[in-house]
Amino acid sequence: MSELARHLAEAAERLFAQRCGTDVVASADAGTWPQALWSELEALTPAQLLVPEERGGAGGDWSDACALLERAGESNLPLPVAETVLAGWLLDRAGLQAMVGPLSFACTTVDLAAAHRQGCVAIEARHVPWAACSAGLVMVGIGSDANAEAWLLYLPSGSYTTAPDRAPAGDPRDCVSVRDLALTSPGVACLPLPGLRHTDVLGRAALLRAAQIAGACRRVLALTLAYTGERVQFGRAIGQFQAVQHQLAQLAEETAAVRVAVQAAADTGEGPWSVAAIAAGKLRAGEAAGLCARIAHQLHGAMGVTAEHPLHQSTRRMLAWRDEHGAEAYWARELVQALRDAGAPSAWQAIVAATSR
């Protein structure tokens, strides 16, 4: 972990421990925007995290971003921190400055290169995170073909309409409508993203979701260890029974595996193996999310499905995150395709090449 990641993680842990309790998460799930929490989080400048220092940013890398997102996932942070980090990075890549306030992000299959030539754009998008609460929305679309560089569309708040909706986890996932919007409108920008394909951007979004899953798995493990150590059955804590210990060991194994996979993908950077590493990380995170949620709820029993117990705040989110920005089946196909594109003669040689210094 870099020096920046260490300081960032420590600051995030302190902030979330003090300001992001289960009551704040429950209130956000009920529809209340936690403005006070966002104001304190913005002091960590998430939109500038991946912007180079020479352009006024923090100069962080993807390992730093994942360190922040892992802590956010562990605390069930009900804020668009992943979206703001990603949007800030994309705006910088397009030569724009990130705006003040929370930012939303979405991938679309709209040909933004064609929209740029026409001078106007029309988009209907669903499941856009925190679109109604954000100061602006960054959308990434395709170019003239699948292998062309991606295009960015920045829409300031007010240039699009939203219809409220929510993910199964409780976080806002709004419907966004843009109808024949002139690209010369104030604040609107439609620009290419040099050196980035649509798949590259989607992969970075998936990496941050995988980091959030890794954090949620840590939280679920901690809650389950505490509960099985306190719950007494047949005269002793259930955590002392061998069958329960076996499941606890599997839960710890999954938690460690997804964290290692995410760290490996983040350390790959933006090299030729980045898509393959991210595909493996998101795939592993999705598998871990399902297994960890099942084991945790099984060991908690009826207590784990009550609204009063905090377990559901983590398990609902990790199960929702596993499907966002590509589920396991999607990234399994992308992993195979990335290995084929790299010309690796075997899976083992691909792993050696991808991890070699």
pLDDT digit string (tens) for 285-328?
999 999 999 999 999 999 888 989 999 999 999 999 999 999 99
* Percentage of residues of the chain with pLDDT beyond 90: 79
- Lowest average pLDDT, out of 34-48, 250-264, 334-348, goes to 334-348
Q: Average pLDDT of 349-353?
A: 76
Looking at the predicted structure, is the pLDDT value of residue 177 above 80? yes
Sign of the dihedral defined by the CA atoms of residues 30, 177, 153, 266, in that order? positive
What confidence score (pLDDT) does residue 191 get?
A: 95
What confidence score (pLDDT) does residue 315 get?
A: 97
Q: Average pLDDT of 49-75?
A: 94
Q: Average pLDDT of 3-22?
A: 90
Domain ranges within the chain, ordered by starting residue: 198-355
Cα angle 162, 87, 80 (rounded to 5 degrees) comes to 60
What confidence score (pLDDT) does residue 36 get?
A: 95
What confidence score (pLDDT) does residue 357 get?
A: 58
Prediction pTM value: 0.95
What confidence score (pLDDT) does residue 88 get?
A: 96
Q: What is the DSSP string of 45-104?
A: -GGGTTS-GGGTS----HHHHHHHHHHHHHTT--S-HHHHHHHHHHHHHTT-PPPSS-EE
Looking at the predicted structure, is the pLDDT value of residue 341 above 60? yes
Instruction: Give per-residue pLDDT as tens, 221-272.
Output: 999 999 999 998 888 999 999 999 999 999 999 999 999 999 999 998 777 7
Task: Report CA 251 to chain centroid distance, whole Å.
Answer: 21
Run of H or E including 196:
strand 189-197
Q: Annotate 164-180 with b (16+ C-beta within 10 A) or e (fewer).
A: eeebebbbbbbbbebee
Looking at the predicted structure, is the pLDDT value of residue 343 above 80? no
Q: What is the mean pLDDT of the chain?
A: 92
Q: Average pLDDT of 353-357?
A: 68
Instruction: Give per-residue pLDDT as tens, 66-125.
Output: 999 999 999 999 999 999 999 999 999 999 988 889 999 999 989 999 999 999 999 999
Domain 198-355 fold: Butyryl-CoA Dehydrogenase, subunit A; domain 3 (1.20.140)
